[in-house]
Amino acid sequence: MRKLLIITALILAFATLSTAASGQIKIDLKSKINREANRRANKKTDKAVNKSFDKLEEGINDAIKKDDKKEDGADKSANDTKTARDNGKEQSSKLTESGSDSKVSKSNAPSLAWNKYDFVPGDQVIFEDNLEGEENGEFPSRWDLVRGTVEIAKLDGENVMMLRAGEPSIVPYLKNPKEDYLPDVFTIELDLYYPGAGTFDIYLYDRKNQRSDSHTGYTSVEVQDDQMNMGRGWIKNPDQNLKKERWMHIAIACTNGKLKAYMDDTRLINIPHLDFNPSGLTLYTYHARNDNRYYVKNVRIAKGGVKYYDRVMQDGKIIVNGIRFDVGKSTLKPESMGAINEIYTLMKENPDLKFSVEGHTDSQGDDAFNMKLSQERAETVMNTLIKLGISGDRLAAKGWGESKPISNNASPEDMANNRRVEFVKM
């Protein structure tokens, strides 16, 4: 229709032309007009068609792009899901290795009950040196020298024996040192400052005055870093947080040839049968130097006694010298827990037992201060037992100060025996 209108308009435009042209000319003009009209109409039609196809093509391309995006999104989502699933499997595997398995292991692990600190000091002190009254720079008066250099020094304001050179070795200075002065049941305790290198030996015979009857030569408890040895392999302390340079409490308990040795609050050596008879004490280190000094204080040898249950049944009370406090204070020292745990076990196994926890001091210091201090110490022990689980109505606390000595306070050993805690049956 549009083509017809265009042709008609062109014919009317040329109808007014007067010419003398021949009929042949009129025919050519008409044909020319028709061709041009057709050309232009076709051009516009093609343009319209092209435009339509362009729009259609754009629509198709947009649709394709959208589908591609959807497919890409779906693929990405699928890939992400697969990755997450794979990662999840890997993470799950890791959890199985580090978490689930360990949970299963823990749930299937046996329940461990290990009394790692069962040390109870002997109840009768036969040698003690807390270095009180010693003069700085002098040789310690209650000891004898085997070799090397050992002198009194002050460390953090407290007297210590300093072992510093010449492979120092010392033994207790006693009246009859050649005799066996260690009973069948005994304990030895000391505080040792380990400088970070070398070994420290606690020999169980007097190396100046006695001869060992050991067939193997292993007669000393060796201390090095966080481990101990007595000829049967080094045993490490399970506590992983120990510093190399530090104070440590060393304890040895021997009962008719059975020996246990402790570092701080852990038993490291447990030997059922010694091959020799312990007869004395020697402190020795090969590795002491001016730049690697060892320090020792609070040495005590005590004779063992009757079991707590037998004592209370026989005497109506238990005398305990193994409960220790900071000097002039009621703060418990860690090594006290062995004796306190024994009392706790005794009371737990015998629910009818009731105790008056009674504190005693030696004669040094002011009477009133000692009375107050002994009361506070008795209360500290009582409260410790209550925290462990003993009912408070089974316990009482009483301080006696220096008013009830069991020795005459004439020697360090006498005073050590007077510094005690008694558990009196109620």
336 in the same domain as 275: no
pLDDT score recorded for residue 119: 84
Give just the sign of the alpha carbon dihedral 242, 245, 247, 250: positive
CB 295 within 8 A of CB 269: no
Residue 110 within a domain:
no
63 in the same domain as 201: no
220 in the same domain as 143: yes
Two structure tokens written together for 106: 């823990």
Residue 175 within a domain:
yes
Residue 111 within a domain:
no
Look up residue 392 and give its DSSP letter.
G
403 in the same domain as 334: yes
Task: List Cα–Cα distances, 287 to 24, 123, 163, in angstroms.
Answer: 139, 34, 10
Beta bridge partners of 252: 188, 261
Task: List Cα–Cα distances, 53 to 1, 47, 56, 57, in angstroms.
Answer: 22, 10, 5, 6
- Rounded to the nearest 10°, the torsion over CA 163, 167, 168, 174 is 160
Buried b (16+ CB within 10 A) or exposed e, 339-357: bbbbbbebbeeeeebbbbb
Residue 196 within a domain:
yes
Shortest CA distance to 125 belongs to which of 301, 320, 2?
301
44 in the same domain as 146: no
295 in the same domain as 197: yes
Residue 109 within a domain:
no
**What CATH number did the domain enclosing 363 receive?**
3.30.1330.60
317 in the same domain as 276: no
pLDDT score recorded for residue 402: 92
pLDDT score recorded for residue 296: 98
Residue 131 within a domain:
yes
Pairing of strands 355-360, 246-255: unpaired
**What CATH number did the domain enclosing 277 receive?**
2.60.120.560
Residue 112 within a domain:
no
171 in the same domain as 139: yes
133 in the same domain as 278: yes
Range of the domain at 277: 117-305
Buried b (16+ CB within 10 A) or exposed e, 94-108: eeeeeeeeeeeeeee
Average pLDDT along the chain, 426 residues, taken 10 residues at a time = 50 45 45 58 54 52 49 47 42 34 50 70 90 96 97 96 97 95 94 96 97 91 96 91 91 92 93 95 97 96 80 86 88 87 91 94 91 95 94 95 89 90 94
pLDDT score recorded for residue 111: 63
260 in the same domain as 361: no
pLDDT score recorded for residue 109: 64
Give the domain-ending residue among 104, 136, 160: 104
pLDDT score recorded for residue 22: 43
77 in the same domain as 156: no
- How far is 52 from 50, CA to CA, in rounded Å? 5
Furthest-apart CA atoms within the chain: distance in Å = 171
Residue 71 within a domain:
yes
408 in the same domain as 420: yes
Give the domain-ending residue among 305, 335, 363: 305
Give the domain-ending residue among 305, 326, 359: 305
HSE-up of 418 (CA within 13 Å, CB side)? 21
* Domains in the chain, number: 3
